Structure 1
Amino acid sequence: MLFLATAILSASIHFAGAVDAPVVPGVAVTAPGEPGGPPLADTAAPPRGDEPATVDTTPGLEQVAVCRALATAEPSTTTGARPSTAAPDLTVPACLAELRGASSPALTALGDSFDPVGDDASRLSAVLTAGADAPTTAAWWAGLDDSRRLGLVAAVPGVVGQLEGVPYSVRDQANRLFLGAATLALHDRDETAAEQVGDDARSAMLGQVQLALADRSAGDEDRQLIALDTVMPGRAAVSVGSLDTADDVSVLVPGMFFTVQGQMVDWAETAGQLHDEQRAWTYLLARSDARPLDSVAVVAWMGYRTPDLTNVYTLDLARQGAGHLEDALSGLDAARASDAPRVTVVAHSYGSTTATLALSSGRVSVDSLALLGSPGSVVPTAAMLSVADDDVYAAAGSFDPVAGSGYFGVDPGTGAFGAVLLHTGGGDDSVTGRALRAALGHNDYLLPGTESMRSLALIALGHGDMVDGDERGPGEPRPDGPELALVRPQDVYLRD
């Protein structure tokens, strides 16, 4: 069944070829306190691999050899998202301590020693994120003085920009520096002896990130580049609105065929359109009950490698993506610990399965979850997801061949799952009277002017009670859709 569905999708969705992303080595982590800083033992999460070995974390004031070794270690040959094998002296606490205490010339030397297009920075940021949880990183950053923070951004922007728990304004500045430096380095070695296979694709991928940041076709608010991994096929996240201050934050998780090179601009535009819908409703709601306007931010999150037709039949990429999504949500919690926003995850297609993996791990939680066109949840009921008050919604268009397939688990659209099944048929808005379009196909849910887009905006603002949906009892089936054999390719298309 899913093969036919994916074949239909492939006839109409534009996608770029993806290359296996290298797996960076994980690190066995202890939690000793850093000299002169907050104790790590109180905040570090349990390691996700082998038991750690205790190490000396005395900072090297003139060298940053530990961080350099972590950045240039050979990729692991094992499979899996987060292997945890490393030499005893290659530890995240030691690296963080040395970044705190190293001299400015040592930091400059570290940055200069990295490869110019970002591979070393991506590896180091990956092991730091995997080896130190977001609260630990947030506490480490808070313990640095301003000059050291500026020095780190200048010397290793590709590392600072990926550290979960660091303020998003800082990460945006660092990632933009990283983006510019990597783009220039690729340009400088174009058509020279230093040029490497894949440079053209990487340049195109980075160009799409730049276009996504510059685009103002929707969501006319400052954009933040909150994540950037330059290793192909690339990972990135762009926020429309400030994640440092927004009252309501939505995180958009994409499904299959989405790559940074192919869909970053489109996904950021989608985030902007949802942002516009949310902003419109904040004005309407404020006028009705005299409340102050909520500020909103919507993240176009492309933080994992999504599948194509060759690898969509397993959960391997969903598991890796779930780990990255957990990190992103933990980073938001840590960065906004003193002023927590309302957080909603909006996950489409394969991304909905990825989201159920992340939110059933017990490591992160959100306020609301919307699963759009889902091929299945890894847990049988919404109550098993870490979502406040079981505020879970599902959408299944009548001509969506993926929704209801249950390929990866329980269909969130069934009554037994316990989610509110959103109406997607369109009609007149009960509040504004405007005509709402139907969302029938697999990629219609986030189109402007649809009933589903209206519902997602209200859910993100904490007004799920205003959406039209069915809270059906256990055992009640989802509405019947057409036979897959009757679905035409044009019924499942890339959003405009």
Structure 2
Amino acid sequence: MLSASVHLAGVADAPTVPSATVLTVDRPAAAPLVGASVPGPAPVRDGRAVPELDGCRGVEATTFSAEACLDQLTRASSAGVERFAATLDADGDDAAALVAAVGEQVPPEDAAAWWSDLGDDRRTVLAHAVPGVVGNLEGVPYSVRDTANRQFLRDATTAVAGRIGSDAEQPEDPRRLAMLEQVRATLDGATHDVPFAGTADRHLVALDTVLPGRAAVTVGDLDTADDVSVLVPGMLFTVSDQLVDWTNTAGALHDEQATWATLLGRSGPGPVPTVAVVAWMGYQTPDLTNFYDLGLAQRGAAHLEGALEGLDAARADDEPRVSVMAHSYGSTTATIALSSGRVAVDSLVLLGSPGSVVPDAGDLAVRGTDVYAAAGSFDPVAGSGFFGADPATAAFGAVVLHMGGGSDTVTGRALAGALGHNDYFRAGTESMRSLALIGLGHGVLVDGRAGDPGRDGPEAPVLTVVRPQDVYFRD
């Protein structure tokens, strides 16, 4: 029954999380930056070398100051930045640790202001010298992050591949290289020959190269899009095994939204809205050994909050309409994030949900209470109530989407049903039509049953014994 949460690919090996990295560990100097001069000796004062970026080291120390680190990144000489970069491991552990430490102390709006105040020359130096930091700092423009993360990916791939087969090879290097190669395959467009993979450009807006890895790939321009949809996956999704598929899913939704935006925009004033869809794999999802509690969902919710705060900060002067569309365990993760009081979105869709941590849609920070739920007739996870309230009951207060298919009331085209746990994002389904319209702010055009908060819903079955016929009534 639990295998219903596997999306196309099989069960991944349980990931091994490496121990935390401290930036003060001595390492051999890295090769000089491509196109950069070799850093000269550190400046000397009273016979001693002056550490220009000592504030960016020792990220696990209680005395670490992210503001001091950013200030030194602003003021240090270009050679000093390059010397600092040469002390970081090229495969990304140090960059991940530094980004996490800065993110814990500096909110995205402050990071956005910091980046905005930098001169063009300094931005170029930092993006080239420490791409793993610039590419993953929430608040930095996404075009900058994409360029930096692509370099970060190249550097990490070269470093890991270069160790394999040598005395320096580490036990996890083959798995790590395979993960990085999947990120590259996603970006290279190798999947564009796959039907419904999407045709818009892809951008790597987040990358953590530490196993099991985290990433976010945007289909469409996240810096300028009028409507942004963030797709949050459920259990058994890993960068190594599902990033290509999840990005193809984002591409299919992007094209569906773009088609509807053009169709609906013809009858209204102004230009046709532009769209971007984020294939967000920004947290470690559970496998069959650790799905039974909310630990990973809680950590994932913190990452999701950070990503949404980063979007708000990066687009503060031109706010897009933002929707979160979350599947399975990811839907529970989304309810944690949107009940935290830190972030809000314009629309929320909970697909095949094993439960919400809050009992009422009104407890979620969704502007205008634009909350939807979907539960396919043959989805054994939806309706289980394993982690809390079932969003697809009338009592929760969400609009329960019709999943059975039929004829499109606007275009007349035939729509397939979305009945199983992995059908919600399948091209040509009524579900994908509904997701596209909701993401554009046209939820009024979807077919669904309005919620009835306060009404008692049916008693939720237990996940381990739920049968398809137990939830068949939903369609």
Verify the 8 A CA contact 1:306 1:317 in the aligned structure 2: yes
Separation in 1, partners of 2:400, 2:451: 8
Equivalences for residues 357-376 of structure 1 within 5 A? 357-376=336-355
User: Residue 15 of structure 1: CA displacement?
Assistant: 2.8
In structure 2, relative to structure 1, the CA distance for the partners of 1:431 and 1:8 (3 Å cut) is closer
Deviations 1:4-25 (A, max 9, x none): x315546975132132435759
Of 62, 71, 74, 1:87 maps to 62
User: Which residue of 1 is the match for residue 58 of structure 2?
Assistant: 69
The letter for the 1-side match of 2:55 is V
Separation in 2, partners of 1:363, 1:399: 35
Match of 1:347, SS? strand
The answer as to 2:126 corresponding to 1:164 is: no
User: Which residue of 1 is the match for residue 169 of structure 2?
Assistant: 195
User: Which residue of 2 is the match for residue 181 of structure 1?
Assistant: 155
User: Residue 358 of structure 1: CA displacement?
Assistant: 0.3
In structure 2, relative to structure 1, the CA distance for the partners of 1:480 and 1:120 (3 Å cut) is closer
Of 105, 110, 113, 1:139 maps to 113
User: Residue 186 of structure 1: CA displacement?
Assistant: 1.4
Separation in 2, partners of 1:298, 1:478: 35
Separation in 1, partners of 2:395, 2:344: 22
Verify the 8 A CA contact 1:68 1:110 in the aligned structure 2: no
User: Residue 68 of structure 1: CA displacement?
Assistant: 2.6
User: Which residue of 1 is the match for residue 15 of structure 2?
Assistant: 19
User: Which residue of 2 is the match for residue 475 of structure 1?
Assistant: 455
Of 429, 433, 437, 1:458 maps to 437
Separation in 2, partners of 1:364, 1:450: 30
Separation in 2, partners of 1:24, 1:379: 33
In structure 2, relative to structure 1, the CA distance for the partners of 1:333 and 1:9 (3 Å cut) is closer
The letter for the 1-side match of 2:168 is A
User: Which residue of 2 is the match for residue 39 of structure 1?
Assistant: none
Deviations 1:166-196 (A, max 9, x none): 0000000100000001111112222111111
Separation in 2, partners of 1:415, 1:14: 34
Verify the 8 A CA contact 1:303 1:321 in the aligned structure 2: yes
User: Residue 360 of structure 1: CA displacement?
Assistant: 0.4
Separation in 1, partners of 2:114, 2:207: 21
User: Residue 127 of structure 1: CA displacement?
Assistant: 1.1
User: Which residue of 1 is the match for residue 207 of structure 2?
Assistant: 228
In structure 2, relative to structure 1, the CA distance for the partners of 1:484 and 1:436 (3 Å cut) is farther
Verify the 8 A CA contact 1:413 1:478 in the aligned structure 2: no
Match of 2:14, SS? coil
The answer as to 2:322 corresponding to 1:347 is: no
User: Which residue of 1 is the match for residue 296 of structure 2?
Assistant: 317
User: Which residue of 1 is the match for residue 276 of structure 2?
Assistant: 297
The letter for the 2-side match of 1:328 is A
What is the percentage of aligned positions where both structures have the same residue? Answer: 58
Give the TM-score normalised by structure 2. 0.88
Separation in 1, partners of 2:269, 2:6: 48
Separation in 2, partners of 1:376, 1:480: 10
Match of 1:239, SS? strand
Match of 1:69, SS? coil
Verify the 8 A CA contact 1:205 1:261 in the aligned structure 2: yes
User: Residue 106 of structure 1: CA displacement?
Assistant: 1.1
User: Which residue of 2 is the match for residue 102 of structure 1?
Assistant: 76
User: Residue 467 of structure 1: CA displacement?
Assistant: 0.3
Verify the 8 A CA contact 1:137 1:166 in the aligned structure 2: yes
The letter for the 1-side match of 2:53 is V
Deviations 1:349-404 (A, max 9, x none): 00000000000000000000000000000011111111001100000000001001
Match of 1:227, SS? strand
Separation in 1, partners of 2:7, 2:323: 32
Match of 1:402, SS? coil
Verify the 8 A CA contact 2:408 2:414 in the aligned structure 1: yes
Verify the 8 A CA contact 1:64 1:98 in the aligned structure 2: yes
Verify the 8 A CA contact 2:5 2:234 in the aligned structure 1: no
User: Which residue of 1 is the match for residue 313 of structure 2?
Assistant: 334
In structure 2, relative to structure 1, the CA distance for the partners of 1:174 and 1:284 (3 Å cut) is same
The letter for the 1-side match of 2:341 is G
Of 89, 94, 109, 1:120 maps to 94
User: Which residue of 1 is the match for residue 25 of structure 2?
Assistant: none
Separation in 1, partners of 2:393, 2:183: 38
Verify the 8 A CA contact 2:6 2:235 in the aligned structure 1: no
Separation in 2, partners of 1:11, 1:487: 18
- Stretches of structure 1 that go unaligned for 5 or more consecutive residues are 27-59, 74-85, 492-496
Equivalences for residues 280-295 of structure 1 within 5 A? 280-295=259-274
The answer as to 2:251 corresponding to 1:262 is: no
User: Residue 288 of structure 1: CA displacement?
Assistant: 2.9
The letter for the 2-side match of 1:395 is A
Verify the 8 A CA contact 1:362 1:386 in the aligned structure 2: yes
Equivalences for residues 196-211 of structure 1 within 5 A? 196-211=170-185
Match of 1:226, SS? strand
Match of 2:218, SS? strand
The letter for the 1-side match of 2:89 is D
In structure 2, relative to structure 1, the CA distance for the partners of 1:423 and 1:298 (3 Å cut) is same
The letter for the 1-side match of 2:279 is A
Verify the 8 A CA contact 2:206 2:216 in the aligned structure 1: yes
**Which segment is superposed worse, 358-367 or 187-196?**
187-196
Deviations 1:258-309 (A, max 9, x none): 0000000000000000001001101110223354210000000000000011
The answer as to 2:366 corresponding to 1:387 is: yes
Give the TM-score normalised by structure 1. 0.84
Match of 2:57, SS? helix
Verify the 8 A CA contact 1:370 1:392 in the aligned structure 2: yes
The answer as to 2:428 corresponding to 1:449 is: yes
Separation in 2, partners of 1:61, 1:253: 45
Match of 2:187, SS? helix
The letter for the 2-side match of 1:198 is E
In structure 2, relative to structure 1, the CA distance for the partners of 1:483 and 1:153 (3 Å cut) is closer
Verify the 8 A CA contact 1:219 1:276 in the aligned structure 2: yes
In structure 2, relative to structure 1, the CA distance for the partners of 1:483 and 1:229 (3 Å cut) is closer
Verify the 8 A CA contact 1:222 1:240 in the aligned structure 2: yes
Deviations 1:213-269 (A, max 9, x none): 122342211111000000000000000001100000000000000000000000000
Q: When the two structures are aligned, how many residues end up with a matched partner? A: 437
Match of 2:58, SS? helix
Match of 1:289, SS? coil
- Stretches of structure 2 that go unaligned for 5 or more consecutive residues are 23-48
